[in-house]
């Protein structure tokens, strides 16, 4: 290879290098960040973000006493049909797959005559637990959560009002019905406030509808004498 060909190759290489360097300078000038161009806008952090994925939102549960105060035993009797294949609801009726439920409210847990209970329920009965409305509500929500190891395969009733209606029906299945638990004091006070506000509104409407004393007097003076 003579010197002329070698010079051509070296020149081409140098030219390519210069071209690449030139393109780099131009790109850097175009895309360089602009500084001191005013205040920027900081995006708000998403709610719930942070360590551990944010705080868990806990839904407020309606007190059982409030639910039972408006429960409907007739609707509860319809709900009880879901249980009729395993339980009897009549006084003195024989046990089925599950024990009879007449008089169950207030009865000691795992103490119905002639029924073989699971160890889970038997242990609760041995501890002196009874079928209060609260215990029945918890058991009907999830039998397996209330008494792990129970033989009852029913998944549970998830709706609060449905369980309340069923409990109201169970209350009627007794020779001595057990009273419902009282609603919390704040709930009772709120109901009284609502009732009072309703009464005040009715009284105000009656007062507005009634003619004033001045209007009655003016009407009397304006009336022609007979």
Per residue in 15-26, pLDDT (tens digit) is 787 777 777 766
pLDDT band at 139 (very low <50, low <70, confident <90, very high): very high
**Distance separating alpha carbons of residues 226 and 224, to the nearest angstrom:** 6
Instruction: Name the residue ranges covered by the structural domains of the chain.
Output: 64-172
Q: State residue 65's pLDDT score.
A: 94
Q: What are phi and psi of 15, to 5 degrees?
A: -65, -40
In whole numbers, what is the pLDDT of the chain averaged over residues? Answer: 79
Q: State residue 100's pLDDT score.
A: 95
pLDDT band at 35 (very low <50, low <70, confident <90, very high): low
At residue 222, does pLDDT exceed 70? no
- pTM of the model as a whole: 0.58
At residue 129, does pLDDT exceed 90? yes
How many CA within 13 A on the CB side of residue 161? 4
At residue 164, does pLDDT exceed 60? yes
Q: How many residues are present in the chain?
A: 226
Q: State residue 163's pLDDT score.
A: 97
- Residues near 160 by beta carbon (within 8 Å), at least 6 away in sequence: 61, 62, 67
| Range of lowest pLDDT (68-77, 158-167, 202-211) | 202-211
Q: State residue 214's pLDDT score.
A: 53
Q: What are phi and psi of 195, to 5 degrees?
A: -65, -40
At 198, list the tokens. 């309703």
- Residue 121 and residue 147 in contact, taking contact as beta carbons nearer than 8 Å: yes
| Range of lowest pLDDT (61-75, 137-151, 173-187, 198-212) | 198-212
Q: Which residue reads 């806990």 in tokens? A: 58
State the CB neighbour count (10 A cutoff) for residue 36.
Answer: 4
At residue 138, does pLDDT exceed 60? yes
Looking at the DSSP bridge assignments, the partners of residue 108 are 130
At residue 78, does pLDDT exceed 80? yes
Q: What are phi and psi of 159, to 5 degrees?
A: -85, 125
Q: State residue 165's pLDDT score.
A: 97
- Give the residue, 87 or 51, on which the prediction is more confident: 87
**The CATH number, out of the four listed (3.60.15.10, 3.40.50.970, 1.10.760.10, 3.40.50.150), of the domain defined by the range 64-172:** 1.10.760.10
At residue 50, does pLDDT exceed 90? no
């Amino acid at each position: 290879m003579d010197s002329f060909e070698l010079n051509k190759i070296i020149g081409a290489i140098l030219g390519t290098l210069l071209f690449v360097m030139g393109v780099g300078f131009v790109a850097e000038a175009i895309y360089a960040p602009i500084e001191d161009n005013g205040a920027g806008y900081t995006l708000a952090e998403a709610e719930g973000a942070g360590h551990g994925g944010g705080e868990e939102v806990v839904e407020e549960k309606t007190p059982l006493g409030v639910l039972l105060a408006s429960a409907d035993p007739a609707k509860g009797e319809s709900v009880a049909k879901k249980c009729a294949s395993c339980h009897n609801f009549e006084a003195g009726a024989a046990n089925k797959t599950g024990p009879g439920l007449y008089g169950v409210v207030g009865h000691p847990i795992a103490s119905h005559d002639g029924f073989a209970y699971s160890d889970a329920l038997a242990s609760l009965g041995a501890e002196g637990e009874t079928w209060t409305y609260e215990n029945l509500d918890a058991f009907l929500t999830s039998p397996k959560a209330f008494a792990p190891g129970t033989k009852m395969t029913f998944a549970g009733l998830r709706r609060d009002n449905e369980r309340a209606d069923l409990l109201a029906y169970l209350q009627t299945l007794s020779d001595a019905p057990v009273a419902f638990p009282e609603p919390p004091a704040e709930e009772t006070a709120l109901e009284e406030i609502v009732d009072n506000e309703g009464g005040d509104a009715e009284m105000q409407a009656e007062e507005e509808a009634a003619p004033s004393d001045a209007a009655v007097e003016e009407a009397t003076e304006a009336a022609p004498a007979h």
